[in-house]
Structure 1
Amino acid sequence: MMLALSSLPAAAEEAKDKDECFAPVTPVVSLDYGSRYTDDSVTRSDFDEKANAEVDKALGPVDDFITDLVRESNRALTRKADRATQSADCVLNHLAQWAGAGALGDLQTEAVQISIPSRLSGLAFAYGNALPLASQDAQRKALIEAWFKAQALATMAYFDEKAPPRASANNLRAWAGLAVTRIGLLLQDDAMLSWGEQSFRTVLCDANPDGSLPREMERGPLALHYQIHALGPLVITAALLEQDRQAGLFTACDAALSRGVDFMLAALAEPQRAAQHAGVEQSFSAPQPETLQGHDVAWAAAYLRFADNPELAELAKTFDPLGNSKYGGSQKLLWQQNLPKE
């Protein structure tokens, strides 16, 4: 389930007009669900409709909470003085409630463990957006950051020691790397930042010469879908580390990131390019083709901040404004321009 900014839960919709913080959300501490895919799906591309619905239902409260938090954090970035602080405090107060309850502390299955890092990324972006504008509260800050630290360390340990071989090196590892990188920047933790960079390299540096990612090309009809899904956290990680310390990831591994983007663009125009790797027709060229969504390429704003790609820029224009809660909401706001304050 992708977190698009267009999906605004009712609590935030009501708060938007009243200039109030959205209502408290019960912290989700324990999650227990299985795979979205059928047991016999070797390529992990055949969805089990019942299981898929169960996963969405279990993650729904978490995803809605993240969408609300990120939206409020974006409001903080575009508001003046006291109103900005009001929105920022809204974000931090909600996060403190979740941190105090030990939210996301009981992840009971492999499927849960590998799907939570992308949500952790969204939570960390919301906090990072809001923190500089919030009122000073050392106790609240310490509580939230201790929780983020524990989450990051648990993520690192799981993907280093327990994750299945494919998940430890594919788009799921890229999402884990992004979450740990964003938290590492918040905490100024060099070990976390190094782990985030290494995760980037683990996922990307064995890209095929044409830019396709081998582990994503194993995903049958969803190979191109997962190429796109992997590029997002890879691009945002590269942008964060370039902004913070000029890590040079945009040119790393023989410019693998730009090759990966070029392959995506070429395969969107001609899905057969991905089909040649996957061995089957792609979801983007099926009888009822998958349609690219704005949140799928929201990362283009960060990419274009540090690299030139006219074709990607044209594609991004068709989805403007670019937004994805897992990357902190409005990407134009975060990467491309300073908006006037309300």
Structure 2
Amino acid sequence: MRSQFIRIVGAVSLAIGMSLGISQATRACAVPPPLASIDPPGFYDDPAGYAQAVKPMRGFIDQLNKAADSSQWSCTLDLLQGWAQADALMGPISGYQGYYERSWAGTDFAMVLLRMPQDVSSANANRLHVITPWLTRIAIATRDADAINHLHNNLVYWAGLNLVAIGTVAQQQMLIDAGLARAREGINDIGAQGELVREVKRGDRALHYHTFALIPLVFTAELAQRQGIDLYQENHGAIGRLANLVTQAVQDPASFAKITPIEQKLFPWTFQDELSWMEPYYARTRDSRLPALIAPRRPFSEWRLGGNVTDAWGVALSP
């Protein structure tokens, strides 16, 4: 009798536990209300207002990236399909910051899908047929955004990654070509010491923006390899020069004085997750300086790049 009672209690406990697990998973995958538009004040113009305005979109991206990080692909597709069906983020933008935010968001959505195993993608082709036209609309809006195109700086390079990543997912060569043109603008701007003149003009944030500019150039170069295009070789290995400049600055921030005498200020994330470019770059180049810089910072997680970059792009580090 006692053993039978224990078995019944165990079965009930298991059922309750499974029910709670399913309930928690369901809550975790609940699709948040789609945002019609993303139109925050400028990051530097109104920091508090900016942080409040982007919170719903960043929350969605965090939920999406965590689903991808844990290989919950059905949840990942639920989230993207829910926002795609609402044509989220495609409403009017009155300022300028929203164009950057939508570009970054679209890049993240595409990078998440690029992490998805091929068999999962094939089994969910009907759902992707809902998602990819929405991503294409985001990419076209990014391509045509004068608020980005006139800048000719790191935001153009990020727009290039947006176009190449979404173009790769949607198999749209016109988007890939437009993205490559923007990446090449950045590559051609890299000087003999790895400097970017427009980013040097950022004064005490110059080092930060060199680091920030390098991210989309490296990831675009990686995606371009799938097209048989080697962006790493262009402008006499320019991406490598910029990577070397940033690597030296991570090792010794004072080394950046050769680019500008202005004392540099970094954001807390500049030498943390915004060094996520090191993962694919090390996998390709095996730069012997990078393991010591990568190891204590792993895992890299960047909200614009689909979540856990280490999991998606990293390789074992040589001692």
Letter in 1 for 2:58: D
Task: Return the offset for 1:273.
Answer: 4.3
The runs of 5 or more residues in structure 2 that have no matched partner are 1-19
Counterpart in the other structure of 2:30? 23
CA distance in 1, matches of 2:304, 2:190: 24
Name the CA distance, whole Å, in 1 between partners of 2:49 and 2:22: 30
Q: What do the CA deviations read for 1:165-213 (whole angstroms, capped 9, x no partner)?
A: 32xx211111111111111111111111111211111112121211011
- Aligned twin of 2:56: 61
Aligned residues: 294
The SS at the match of 2:166 is: helix
| 2:206 paired with 1:223 | yes
**More relative contact order, 1 or 2 (CA 8 Å, 6+ apart):** 1
CA contact (8 A) 2:279 2:315 kept: no
Establish whether residue 308 from structure 1 lines up as the match of residue 286 from structure 2.
Answer: yes
Which one has a bigger Cα radius of gyration?
Answer: 2
Pick aligned residue for 2:43 from 36, 39, 62: 36
1:248 pairs, out of 223, 226, 230, with: 230
Matched, 1:117 2:103: yes
| Residue 31 of structure 1: how far off its partner (Å) | 2.5
- Whole-angstrom distance in 1 between the partners of 2:228 and 2:265: 37
SS in 2 for 1:26: coil
CA distance in structure 1 between the aligned counterparts of 2:313 and 2:223, rounded to whole angstroms: 10
CA contact (8 A) 1:70 1:325 kept: yes
Q: What does the per-residue CA deviation read over 1:96-147, in whole Å, with 9 as the maximum and x for residues that have no partner?
A: 1111111111233212112321121111122333373268455432221110
- Cα deviation, residue 294, structure 1: 2.7
Whether 2:80 is the aligned partner of 1:95: answer yes
Distance 2:176 2:54 in 1: 27
Q: Which runs of 5+ in 1 are unaligned?
A: 1-13, 38-47, 77-86
Q: Deviations over 1:222-262 (max 9, x none)?
A: 000111111111111111111x1231111211111110011
Q: Determine which structure has the larger helix proportion and give its number.
A: 2
The question of whether the paired residues in 1 share the 8 Å contact of 2:190 and 2:196 is answered with yes
- Structure 2 vs 1, CA of residues 222 and 15 (structure 1 numbering), >3 Å: closer, same or farther? farther
Closer, same or farther in 2 for the Cα pair 1:16/1:177, shift >3 Å?
farther
Correspondence for 1:143 among 130, 134, 151:
130
What is the Cα-based RMSD across aligned positions, in Å? 2.5
Question: Secondary structure at 2:189's aligned position in 1?
Answer: coil
Q: Match for residue 246 of structure 2? A: 264
- Which portions of structure 1, spanning 4 or more consecutive aligned residues, are displaced by more than 4 angstroms? 14-21, 289-293
Give the corresponding residue for 1:52.
47
Q: Does 1:209 align with 2:192?
A: yes
The residue aligned with 1:170 is 153
CA distance in 2, matches of 1:278, 1:206: 17
Q: Do the aligned partners of 2:38 and 2:102 also contact (CA within 8 Å) in 1?
A: no
Give 3-state SS (helix, strand or coil) of 2:157's partner. Answer: helix
Which structure 2 residues correspond to residues 3-22 of structure 1 after superposition, within 5 A? 18-20=24-26, 21-22=28-29
TM-score, normalised to structure 1, is: 0.78
Gap change, CA 1:196 and 1:54, over 3 Å in 2: same
The amino acid that maps onto 1:221 is D
Whole-Å separation in 1 of the counterparts to 2:259 and 2:315: 38
- Look up the equivalent residue of 2:274 and give its one-letter code: D
| Rounded Cα–Cα distance in structure 2 between residues aligned with 1:318 and 1:327 | 20
Distance 1:17 1:181 in 2: 38
In percent, how many aligned pairs have the same letter? 26
Q: d(CA) in 2 for partners of 1:191 and 1:102? A: 21
Distance in 2, matches of 1:293 and 1:94, equals 31
Counterpart-to-counterpart distance in 2, 1:96 and 1:197? 27
CA distance in 2 between counterparts of 1:36 and 1:16 reads 39
- Asked if the contact 1:99/1:144 (under 8 Å) is kept, the reply is yes
